[in-house]
Amino acid sequence: MISVVEPATAAVMAEVPRAGADDVDAAVERAKGAFPAWRAVEPAERSAILRRLADAVEERLEDLAVLEARNAGKPIGDARGEMGMVVETFRYYAGAPERLLGDTIPVSGGIDMTFREPLGVVGLIVPWNFPLVIAAWKLGPALAAGNTVVLKPAELTPLTALELEKIAATVLPEGVLNVVAGPGSVCGSRLVEHPDVAKVAFTGSTEVGRGIARQAADTIKRVTLELGGKSANIVFADADLEAAAAAAPMSVFGNAGQDCCARSRILVQRDAMDRFTELLDAAVREVRVGDPLDETTQMGPLISAAHREEVASFVPEGAPVATRGTAPEGDGFWYPPTVLAPVGQHDRAAVEEIFGPVVCVIAFDDEVDAVAKANDTIYGLSGSVWTRDGAKALRVARAVDTGVLSVNSNTSVRVSTPFGGFKQSGVGRELGPHALDHYTEVKNVYFAT
């Protein structure tokens, strides 16, 4: 059995059966059996089924949000937002089956046309930081395109995925969506090597992503990877410093920093450093850390004791702590919001993904220096540019090597726009129209006339 722990109390909140490789094989078999009928469902009917799935999740939104808040340790308001996004994602991709358009291409002697065919059985491996919503980003386009699915949630947070499987059983044909809750090294790995799985979509650490890419090569499996980040929040001296400083804390302490989009490096133009850090200090002290089920909480605990130890290793004795917020004492994996400054560009905390509420503040001189520092990382997922100069904002946005960038804002994710990384932050895009490319194969047909 898996003993599922509630991070805010460190107590076991549920026991669920632990799946093994045989369970993965059985789930793949069910998904393979369901594929021919699911791909043959008329496009309008597949749309209607996905809308019903969205409605069925919406009916359960509050109890799913509470379950997610408790199991992942996230503030209830955030959990409600995520469940809302699950619903929105299924509704958005409900529009896709009738819009999977092909091309006709002028050729001699006949007609040439393209089709977007489903891949077959796809394996989805998702992490513990945004358990159900990241699953939905993959499920929406996968199901809309006519694939069947085996979903493996993280062992730390399997509860909402298992609930979704039950909800989906009332709406989807049998075998279309299967959930296996078991360890990544066993169940995830089996999905990646399984010859009947056509594609694996993974979100998690860059290290595990590398291994999946390697293992997938054996069967030339399609792979999309959403991996780590070390995103830069670039604040120019001509920015609205009050707005930039007010927004900065939650762009890195949101979800207790366990967010691949966390703006964990704040790059500040030297002339504005004193004023910005003064404003940031005040904003960080206001972050309310506490019980995830308290409506006023902005940040909960970390996911596990082991992860808290890893996060703490980035703030050793003598670390340059400029601001430390507050966190509850006692049981639960609490860690206070922490600002490190000044930090050298190549210090460990400025280079590695911390995945906790620890942010580095680093100075830059000018636009060229800002871009060089922002790009001086193996990652390239998200980032922000704060300035009142529109042309500079666009120049910098184009020059920073990341997949998702915002100007005078720290938002990264919308259902209707593409999300994914450059460099070692990943391969492929989720959400928006682009995700469908990764769940379909282009077929070209020539018809001699």
- Asked whether position 355 contacts ligand NDP by CB under 6 A, the answer is yes
Verify binding: residue 205, ligand NDP, rule CB under 6 A.
yes
| Position among 23, 155, 291, 430 found at the interface with ligand NDP (CB under 6 A) | 155
Q: Is 77 in the site for ligand NDP (CB under 6 A)?
A: no
Among 71, 148, 160, 203, indicate the residue that binds ligand NDP (CB under 6 A).
203
Backbone angles phi, psi at 328, to 5 degrees: -60, 155
Residues belonging to the active site:
226, 260
Among 228, 290, 336, 428, binds ligand NDP (CB under 6 A): 228
Q: Classify residue 444 as exposed, middle or buried by CB count within 10 Å of its CB (0-12, 13-18, 19+).
A: exposed
Residues facing residue 361 across a β-bridge: 266
**Residue with Cβ nearer ligand NDP (107 or 306):** 306
Helices 76-94 & 61-72, crossing angle to 10 degrees?
A: 130
Q: Which stretch binds ligand NDP (CB under 6 A): 121-129, 231-239, 292-300, 439-447?
A: 121-129
Which of residues 145 and 354 has its CB atom nearest to ligand NDP in the complex? 354
Residue 124 three-state SS: strand
Sign of CA dihedral 29, 33, 35, 38: negative
Q: How far is the CB of 34 from ligand NDP (least distance, A)?
A: 23
Choice from 151, 260, 268, 284 touching ligand NDP (CB under 6 A) = 260
> CA end-to-end span of the chain, whole Å?
62
Q: Which of 76, 192, 287, 339 binds ligand NDP (CB under 6 A)?
A: 192
Cα–Cα dist 37/32, whole Å: 10
Within positions 135 to 154, which residues make up the interface with ligand NDP, using CB under 6 A?
152, 154
Q: How far is the CB of 221 from ligand NDP (least distance, A)?
A: 12
Do 443 and 422 meet the contact criterion of CB atoms below 8 Å apart? Answer: no
From residue 335 to residue 354, the character string flagging contacts with ligand NDP as x (rule: CB under 6 A) and all else as - is ------------------x-
| 280 to 21, 121, 150, 155, 260: CA distances (angstroms) | 49, 48, 44, 36, 22
Q: How many angstroms separate the CA atoms of 437 and 116, rounded?
A: 8
| Minimum distance of ligand NDP from residue 123's CB (angstroms) | 9
DSSP state of 139: H
**Stretch 57-76 residues interacting with ligand NDP (CB under 6 A):** none
Can you read off the two tokens belonging to residue 181? Answer: 């809750």
Query: Which of 47, 251 has the CB closer to ligand NDP?
Result: 251
Secondary structure (3-state) at 15: strand
Where along the sequence are the contacts to ligand NDP (CB under 6 A)? 125-129, 152, 154-155, 183-185, 188-189, 192, 203-205, 208, 211-212, 226-228, 260, 353, 355
